[in-house]
Structure 1
Amino acid sequence: MTAMAGEILDNQGRGDASWSWPPIHPEGRKFGVAALGISLIFAFLAWETLAWPMAFLSLGVFAFFRDPERVVPQDPRAIVAPADGLVSLIAQVEPPQELQVDDGTGQRGLPPGQVTRISIFMSVFDVHINRAPIEGSIKRLVYIPGKFMNADLDKASEENERQHILIERQDGLQLGFTQIAGLVARRIVPFVKEGDLVAVGQRVGLIRFGSRVDVYLPAGTDPKVTVGQKIIAGETVLAEVGEQKLLEAISQ
């Protein structure tokens, strides 16, 4: 069930919801139309053995770039998931240097020290639109070229093509996250630039064809998700700022 974009809903029954087909993001329409066009050409030439696979490919492309509406929590303590997918890794790490060091603009970066990193693996079947985990101003947007190894590997955080994003709230809270290309993903597409103001859950970019997103929680904050959990961008609460609590789960 989804709601109209911008509509306020709550847990007391306010708001209306109905099912609808998810729209296709404009970034993907050209690829889907191109595949469909090739399929029609093959069909016109009576090359059915090629026409049908291209037709199914066009449907797959349209499905990959689907962009459903999400009902975004408005609790100021909540850090929401920036990506659909599987929580593949949770580890204590130092934030990337690109999010820490002085970038020459006078804007402060993340402080040094161990924080919790949540890694979200997106398969080709997941929605690939990425969303802002908190509201605030885009302080840094750092693109780094790199390899295209399996995004599920831990070292992909340091070696793959990636883009770091640092958001700062009005109260000074900062949160960094990283879009990481994978084996199939070959382009990270940003929808925002430095200085933009974003709302929690707002679309900030996408990664084409399978990838990963790492989130660096603020110090003193533990995840509210577990390894192996399936999460939804803009809806699943990854953590609550300042909350530290062991959370155990059972796969069944």
Structure 2
Amino acid sequence: MSLVTTIRKSLVPVHPEGYPFIAFAAVIALVLLAFSTFFGMIAVGLAIWTALFFRDPPRVTPVREGLVVAPADGRISQIGLAVPPRELDLSDTPLLRVSIFMNVFNVHVNRAPVTGRIERVAYKPGIFLNADLDKASEDNERNGMVLATPFGRIGCVQIAGLIARRIVSFVREGESIGAGERFGLIRFGSRVDVYLPVGTRVHVAEGQLTVAGETVLCDFAAAPPRDTAYRVS
């Protein structure tokens, strides 16, 4: 194995969406290094962080029908009942919502939670509250999609955070998508909500860390929805 091949296999891939930001940070670092070692090294650190922010590591998604996987890397901040965003036309009554909070050190490429047809994609402008707050689901800028599956309609909503200023979507209505496939990303720090049928038995708990495309949130094939008590947001 050549040295070049070894280096390539050791490096985590970067999503193309990040190339302009990484290039800009690198140029700033080079300019500052020419005038000040101290400030230049700080800029180098920021350039490295920018590259890490846009990393897009490969994931191995379980493919059995009925599995719903985490759409984001991060920490499960909330599990409870909540009415989905109105623009999704998903439900007028509360559904089970699993919220995953991403900090600025998490991978921010989002992956489809389940295989299905994209029935709806809806963008809603808003403000930029801390994405960990419950009211961020209603007030913050967001982009949602509804997936039609054999187990019902599943909602997935990207929510911008306090620092995030842009949500990027890679999909369109009418397309089909497989579980674990990339559907978008958020810059820089944010949250993703998944809306499931009421009574769904989730396999995760609040505070648990998730890996996009790999962590199983629930299994429709193994256990049908049942009546479960959750708090209402």
Work out whether the TM-score is over 0.5.
Answer: yes
Deviation at 1:67, TM superposition (A): 0.2
2:156 counterpart of 1:167 = no
Q: Which moved more, 1:156-165 or 1:171-180?
A: 171-180
1:175-221 Cα shifts (integer Å, max 9, x gaps):
00110000011000001111121111000000001000011012331
Q: Distance in 1 between the 2:101 and 2:91 partners?
A: 26
Match of 1:143 among 123, 128, 131: 123
Residues 116, 222 of structure 1: 8 Å contact kept: no
Unmatched 5+ stretches in structure 2: 1-8, 229-233
> Which amino acid is 2:61 matched to?
V
Cα distance between partner residues in 2 of 1:137 and 1:39: 44
Distance, in Å, in 2 between the alignment partners of 1:245 and 1:218 is 9
TM-aligned CA deviation for residue 246 of structure 1? 10
Question: Cα distance, 1:22 vs. partner?
Answer: 1.4
TM-score of the aligned structures, taking structure 2 as reference length: 0.88
| CA contact 2:66–2:151 (8 Å) conserved in 1 | no
- Range that drifts further, 207-216 or 237-246: 237-246
Task: Report the structure, 1 or 2, having the larger helix content.
Answer: 2
Q: Is the 2:88–2:121 contact (alpha carbons within 8 Å) kept by the matching residues of 1?
A: no
Q: Does 1:25 align with 2:32?
A: no
Partner of 1:94 in structure 2?
83
Aligned mates of 2:134, 2:142 — CA distance in 1 = 14
Percent of residue pairs bearing the same amino acid type: 49
In structure 2, what residue type is equivalent to 1:228?
G
**C-alpha root-mean-square deviation of aligned residues, in Å?**
1.8
Matched, 1:76 2:36: no
Task: Give the letter aligned to residue 70 of structure 1.
Answer: R
Structure 2 CA distance, aligned partners of 1:208 and 1:200?
22
For residues 190-209 of structure 1, the aligned pairs below 5 Å read: 190-209=169-188
Alignment deviations for residues 90-127 of structure 1 (CA, whole Å, 9 cap, x no partner): 11122222222xxxxxxxxx344332101100000100
In the comparison of the two structures, how many residue pairs are matched? 218
Give me the whole-angstrom Cα distance separating, in 1, the residues matched to 2:203 and 2:10.
Answer: 30
Q: Deviations over 1:45-99 (max 9, x none)?
A: x322321111110000000000000000111111000001000011112222222
User: Paired residue for 1:60?
Assistant: 49
My pick for the range that moved more, 189-198 or 64-73, is 189-198
Conserved? CA contact 1:93–1:116, under 8 Å: yes
Within 5 Å, which residues of 2 pair with 1:86-125? 86-100=75-89, 110-125=90-105
Report the Cα distance in structure 2 between the residues aligned to 1:232 and 1:20, rounded to whole angstroms.
20
Match of 1:231 in 2: 210
Inter-CA distance 244–174: structure 2 relative to 1 (3 Å threshold): closer
Distance 1:127 1:197, change over 3 A: same
Q: State the SS of the aligned residue for 1:32.
A: helix
Of residues 133, 140, 161, the one that matches 1:153 is 133
Q: How much does 1:43 deviate?
A: 2.1
Task: Determine which structure has greater relative contact order: mean sequence separation of CA pairs < 8 Å that are 6+ residues apart, divided by chain length.
Answer: 2
1:106 matched residue in structure 2: none
CA contact (8 A) 2:198 2:227 kept: no
Amino acid at match of 1:65: F
Q: What letter matches 1:49 in structure 2? A: F
